[in-house]
Structure 1
Amino acid sequence: MQWRILEAPHGDLDHPDGWAYRGIAEVERQVALADRGTDDGAPTARELAVSMTDQTYRRRRRLVAVVDGGTPADGGTPAGGGTPAGGPLVVGHGFLGCNLRDNLHRADVYVAVAPPYRRRGIGAALADAVVALARAEPGRTTALSEVEFAAEPAADAPDALVAPTGNGRISADLPGLRFARRAGIGLTMISRRSVLRLPVSDDVARLEEQARAAAGPDYRLHVWRDDIPERWLAGYAALEERLTIDEPNPGLDVEPEHWDAERMRHEMRELREAGRGWLLTAAEHIPTGELVAATMLLYFPDRQAYSEQETTVVVPEHRGRRLGMLVKCVNLREHTRVRPATERIWTWNNEDNPHMLAINVAMGFRPAGGSAMLQAPLADLRTLSR
């Protein structure tokens, strides 16, 4: 089989060059099913196209490994999507992401190969090409990546590898982790993936009642769907920034991010263009009129089966009043009202964030795999294809 690597052409999905994003999305779907047992959360072609259109805050490069006129090894649907323009078969892809406003030393690198095409040198060639792009970016010194997995191994499993922080385990024998070690990028931290099966139990209503009592009368809740009123944009942006300051990321070479109202407008516009909706519950401190806590759920209007729990943050001065539990319970109740057909909600938490993990466990979230966060000096990454 002959394959080649090229930069993914950019075009709307109805443009002839849209084959690349459809192909990448299909590869991601196959990889998600193989590596974590579900394609929930795999990026859509529309999301990929939107993310590549406006790069105000983040420069993105995408490479694709293609087979001209190829057919899948498993006899399934071509990863290139069978586009009318007759685009080549996409069998793998590589990604480079570089922040443009903060963390200017960081390069996010990622490689994926469709399962039927693994162990043919495609991943190695993609990795080398992505690393070369990263090294050509001025000032980038640290490479970050991740490997997702379907289940955490038992503590006594012979291949169980504990994160350097002491929290979280991954199988050292996972193909993605073996590949990363070959490249010279090592395990730094583990994030837990959890799932909440719906409908929720009566315990969530009880938790909300207890949280309201603990919060007291000084807080007013706001619930917003698919928008944030202009009056509150700067306040919510400050909460997003607070999260980048407070979220524990032990060992990761990352810096706090700056968020403002304009960045929030940009984020909301991109979510809408990508076909995403959201529910957001925020707590206002009545005496000061400031937002001091918030949480967000993301969903696809045309895909009812699942939603994704995103940001939950409480500013330090208002912790200890169960505001995190309160906003999450209220947001979940609103989600049940507007998305009654949803079957499950996914979320991610660093294994080194015991407080938020405890809230999620109390609400009924259960472990369902996770992600190994990987890091290395960019200069130290090894060449894989020779």
Structure 2
Amino acid sequence: MRSPFAPACPARQWRVAAVELGPSGPGAGELSRVLACQRAADLADRPGEPGICPAELRGLLVPPYCGRRVLFTATDVTGHVVGWARLGLYEAFHRDVAHAAITVHPAVRRCGVGSMLLDALAWAARTWHRSRLIVDAPRTRATEAFASRHGLFVSGRDLHSRLDLDGPELPHRLVAAVNPAAANPGGLPRQRRRHARPGPGDGFATLCWSGPCPDEFLSGYVSTLDYLHAAQPSGPLPAPSPADASAPDSDTNSRFEPGSSPGVTPFTSAEVRHREQSASRAGLREYTVCLIDQTTGRIAALSSAHTPDGLRGEQNETVVAPDYRGLGLAVRVKAQLIRGLLAAEPSLAILDTYNAVDNHRMLAVNRRLGFRPLDTHAAWTLTL
């Protein structure tokens, strides 16, 4: 069957349009057009893997807290979407930075579509008085060449890792992480332990929920979550997300969420509720596990994840409060979360996560649980 795209593709053939999205993201028709382009790109870049689903794509396109989300589409003369980009503009956090991602249909790559979208992103970012544009993309030969042509440089790197949830060793690994005394360590790689690992009866209680955080725990949840900010050093070039700083015992897959910068504000209850409502509108199912210090009532550790389709999951934040670090709580709370995910979503097959390449402690936690590295993503920065 003939491709709907013309074989010749001069740059002037394409038309780029932009629309600022409302709280629910794009409409059904616009989402369908962008989804077709993204699935074609997924098939070319990750053959054999399921493509993105509507809920997952909608989740990427809802506006951030106190900010804007702009959708750019590049179309050919027949109106087919040949590429698209998203732009995030934060007001509560990185007021001088715009965050973006670009996708080009494989049939028209190296034909100027990506360059046109980048130009449109940069123009919009300047219009909103941003001094830097950060574009997230896997680090490949193609993206390296594209970045070199357009003057982008790497300001952060994330390791993309995956856990196979039907792996034969996983149940034993989870038991060993949650209750080391009850697990036979034979067959697992031996690790040197600098700290004794507490057992389940050590004064920490497990709290789990799906969907929004219960009102009575919201304040404590926000307080612990905010250590994603507090653990990061400030600097002249803020990281594109909490994962891009080497904060101990914390990780996240949200590479466009705000990180540390001189003007950063702490997490707030309003921001958390906004994130929850956005996920619900998009159709994402979220799960959270916390470890509660029964003596003080504080949330010592937390971990969360979501799934858009019940087949694939994505790890969000894992945070351990500073007073409780060095006790093995990161691996324990993450293992509890995985067990809860498997119970609630029995068809879930894989769990992905993204961590800064220099976040060695969380990467060690991931290895202990059985995550394997897949590829590296870079935060490509353009000075405007």
TM-score, normalized by the shorter chain, greater than 0.5: yes
Structure 1 unaligned residues grouped into runs of 5+: 70-87, 150-170, 379-386
Alignment of 1:214-253 (within 5 A): 217-246=202-231, 252-253=237-238
Match status 1:207 vs 2:174: no
**Shift of the alpha carbon at 1:249?**
9.6
Distance 2:233 2:72 in 1: 32
Aligned to 1:66: 75
SS in 2 for 1:143: strand
Of residues 338, 356, 363, the one that matches 1:357 is 363
TM-score (ref. length: structure 2): 0.78
Alignment of 1:1-386 (within 5 A): 1=6, 2-8=13-19, 18-37=28-47, 42=52, 44-46=53-55, 56-69=65-78, 88-138=79-129, 140-149=130-139, 171=140, 174-199=141-166, 200-210=170-180, 213=198, 217-246=202-231, 252-254=237-239, 255=260, 256-300=264-308, 303-378=309-384
Distance 2:277 2:23 in 1: 17
Note if contact 2:64-2:88 (Cα within 8 Å) is conserved in structure 1: no
What letter matches 1:286 in structure 2?
A: Q
Q: CA RMSD in A?
A: 2.8
Distance 1:11 1:260 in 2: 22
**Shift of the alpha carbon at 1:376?**
3.6
**Shift of the alpha carbon at 1:237?**
1.8
Distance 2:125 2:381 in 1: 14
Distance 1:309 1:112 in 2: 23
Q: Write the deviation string for residues 270-292 of structure 1: whole angstroms up to 9, x where unpaired.
A: 11111011211101122221212
Aligned to 1:160: none
Note if contact 1:281-1:327 (Cα within 8 Å) is conserved in structure 2: yes
SS in 1 for 2:198: helix
Q: Percent identity, please.
A: 26
Distance 2:25 2:114 in 1: 29
Note if contact 2:24-2:281 (Cα within 8 Å) is conserved in structure 1: no
Note if contact 2:67-2:89 (Cα within 8 Å) is conserved in structure 1: yes
Deviates more, 1:360-369 or 1:21-30: 21-30
**Shift of the alpha carbon at 1:41?**
7.5
Distance 1:41 1:251 in 2: 37
Distance 2:161 2:72 in 1: 31
Change in Cα spacing, 1:11 to 1:257, as seen in structure 2 (3 Å) is closer
What letter matches 2:45 in structure 1?
A: D
Give the aligned length. 332
Note if contact 2:20-2:70 (Cα within 8 Å) is conserved in structure 1: no
Distance 2:353 2:34 in 1: 23
Note if contact 1:11-1:49 (Cα within 8 Å) is conserved in structure 2: no
What letter matches 1:369 in structure 2?
A: D
Q: Write the deviation string for residues 231-280 of structure 1: whole angstroms up to 9, x where unpaired.
A: 11122122332113326899852425521112111111111111011211
Change in Cα spacing, 1:104 to 1:344, as seen in structure 2 (3 Å) is same
What letter matches 2:152 in structure 1?
A: I
TM-score (ref. length: structure 1): 0.78
Structure 2 unaligned residues grouped into runs of 5+: 1-5, 7-12, 181-195, 240-259
